[in-house]
Structure 1
């Protein structure tokens, strides 16, 4: 059973919202930035999470109280490396962190969706399948997909990310087959940027048309 903010869901029904997900290193951020270049709205739960765990962020005090100073960096932000290692080794800690973060992120998402004025909005949620509360808001689910070895190579280029760490994260996420099974649309991101841009441009036209159709049907009813 999903937790749904019914009022927020009603507010969002007139908007065409595309949920974007995919495994680590699949290229979600690159895809989202290309859509934004064409004028799509963009709400990114990872970006919201980073804001909330930056110095003075909305979640920092709750994290400090629950986990202690060992997980707060000298600048007052969340020590992401320490927390990542902790939650992987202690599953109950993951639940505690999710309890702190998910409600706050959800509130920020609803506010951002409510404020969006673009023809359609991308809601980027890496754990869209795992966190079911966003699904009732969505008009479409778009999965960004690539081969798993490519995921590892891409994600390993990030600071403090090793291939072993990336594979551990992948193992904790919904598997690739399950993501593809729930997708309305799939972007194959095994190729180059030019190929990706071509696919995004085509989907942008499709989503604009579908957003218009959805709005017209609501006006008629």
Structure 2
């Protein structure tokens, strides 16, 4: 990789998109695995055809698009179904992230990878890991408010992901996103300075 690459990760509803947006404002290139996944399952894409074959046409809307809410509920209810979906999507997402990071021309590239801890071996090419952290109770509250989930479904959404401790164990840098917006801005500014310094060093090598 010519550019410095940072994997930004964190549990669901910890504020990864908000953090990524703050870095984008400072000139970082943002490549979001969730956005890549949505592009890969767009109507007419091979991944959507494979999902339809594996899960049935009931996973599609009337217009032939993936019914994301139905799909999410189904895979949260079954580990086997979740693994089947991941086997279809994750290799494609990883390949696309690698290709896009390889073409990054910004001072540094921020890869938003929610499930980094679950597949860290596949991303051993990144330079650093940034974890957006939040206490579990606050994470649950935000998830229920944001997505209108029941407490049981929100709890299940957290349970199927890596633990907070597993994510923090991977971290080179951590942003505590439980505070006020001003603290988040300060944290991003501090890390932006660090990443620009590390990027300049990498390009000299």
CA positional deviation for 1:160: 4.5
Q: Distance in 2 between matches of 1:114 and 1:183?
A: 22
- Structure 2 gaps of 5+ residues are none
CA positional deviation for 1:71: 0.7
CA positional deviation for 1:158: 2.8
Q: Distance in 2 between matches of 1:201 and 1:56?
A: 41
Q: Distance in 2 between matches of 1:58 and 1:30?
A: 31
Q: 1:134 to 1:18 in 2, by over 3 A?
A: farther
Match of 1:51 among 34, 39, 45: 39
Instruction: Give the match for residue 8 of structure 1.
Output: none
Q: Distance in 2 between matches of 1:133 and 1:48?
A: 19
CA positional deviation for 1:122: 0.5
Q: Distance in 1 between matches of 2:202 and 2:174?
A: 21
Instruction: Give the match for residue 86 of structure 1.
Output: 74
CA positional deviation for 1:58: 4.2
Q: Report the RMSD for the aligned CA atoms in angstroms.
A: 1.5
Q: TM-score, normalised by structure 2?
A: 0.94
Contact 1:140 1:184 (C-alpha < 8 Å) held by counterparts: yes
Instruction: Map 1:120-139 onto structure 2 (within 5 A).
Output: 120-139=108-127
Secondary structure at 2:174's aligned position in 1? strand
Match of 1:202 among 183, 190, 195: 190
Instruction: Give the match for residue 172 of structure 2.
Output: 184
- Structure 1 gaps of 5+ residues are 1-11
Q: Distance in 1 between matches of 2:202 and 2:122?
A: 19
Instruction: Map 1:167-178 onto structure 2 (within 5 A).
Output: 167-178=155-166
Q: TM-score, normalised by structure 1?
A: 0.87
Instruction: Give the match for residue 137 of structure 2.
Output: 149
Match of 1:166 among 141, 154, 158: 154
Q: Distance in 2 between matches of 1:121 and 1:62?
A: 31
Q: Distance in 1 between matches of 2:62 and 2:4?
A: 42
Instruction: Map 1:7-22 onto structure 2 (within 5 A).
Output: 12=1, 14-22=2-10
Secondary structure at 1:21's aligned position in 2? strand
Secondary structure at 1:144's aligned position in 2? strand
Alpha-carbon deviations, 1:65-119, whole Å to 9, x = none? 1111011111222112222222222222222111110121122112211221100
Count matched residues.
Answer: 205
